[in-house]
Amino acid sequence: MSARTGIEKTYDLTSRHFGWSEEPRPATRRQVTAYRLDRALRAQGLVSLDSVSHRRASVKPEVHALLEERVRRGELVQVRVRGVEKIAHWALPQTVDALPTSPLPPRVHLLSPFDPLVIQRKRLAAFFGYEHRFEAYVSREKRVYGYFALPVLVGEEIVAAIDLKADREQGRLLIQRWTWFKNRRCHRDLINNELDRFARFQFSDS
């Protein structure tokens, strides 16, 4: 463990830092699997075997066994998602009960390339039919969406990707590139309103 004091760092043994008289027992594999599943259910609402086991393919058998066990106990329900029926998904019963029965007014979200929804590329493509390209490490001439493009979610659709840059000196948000998908320019006013709010947030401490 380390602590920063001014420009110095001090280090100590973990056991002394926490003042343990004896080290706690490590979590069992089953406890770790349960934690992984519970965390995914909280963050995602609707989970698949891939989404729970993201970047941990080796844990899929244990996760799948726990999913089936919780379904048998009535703690989870298996659901089918239109368009991706071949991929099994699960949710808490209360999550399914809370789904709206009528369309909601569309909300706009400017998603970071590192947003959990975007990070899981297979899930993003399955739900929204959109394959994100992170192009910060792509040469300029080969970029399609831009250096740090943000996917724009309006309601239930990814309608655009906007490459933004913050000009801190001038206190302005610069649009480097704006790419539309599925000809959804009808959402421009909604997105512009969100860009204004996003800019105020970015420069609130300037």
The two structure tokens encoding residue 37: 């599943």
- pLDDT over threshold 90, residue 48: yes
Backbone angles phi, psi at 58, to 5 degrees: -65, -20
Task: Give how far the C-alpha of residue 184 lies from the chain's centroid of Cα atoms, to the nearest Å.
Answer: 23
Backbone angles phi, psi at 163, to 5 degrees: -90, 110
Domain boundary assignment for the chain:
29-97, 108-202
Which pLDDT tens digit goes with each residue over 163-179?
Answer: 999 888 888 889 999 99
Q: Where does residue 138 rank: exposed (0-12), middle (13-18), buried (19+ CB within 10 A)? A: middle
Q: Looking at residue 206, what is its pLDDT?
A: 54
Task: Give how far the C-alpha of residue 154 lies from the chain's centroid of Cα atoms, to the nearest Å.
Answer: 16
Lowest-confidence region among 4-13, 115-124, 183-192: 4-13
C-alpha separations of 170 from 149, 150, 163, 203 in Å? 21, 21, 18, 10
Which pLDDT tens digit goes with each residue over 111-165?
Answer: 999 998 999 999 999 999 999 999 999 999 999 999 999 999 999 899 999 999 9
Specify the DSSP class assigned to residue 81: -
Report residue 183's pLDDT band, with 50, 70 and 90 as the boundaries. confident
Q: Rg of the Cα trace of the chain?
A: 22
CATH 1.10.10.10 correct for 29-97: yes
Residues 6+ apart with CB under 8 A from 46: 79, 81, 89, 90, 91, 95
Q: In sequence order, what DSSP letters do the residues of 25-49 get, joined into one string? A: PPPPHHHHHHHHHHHHHHHHSSEEH
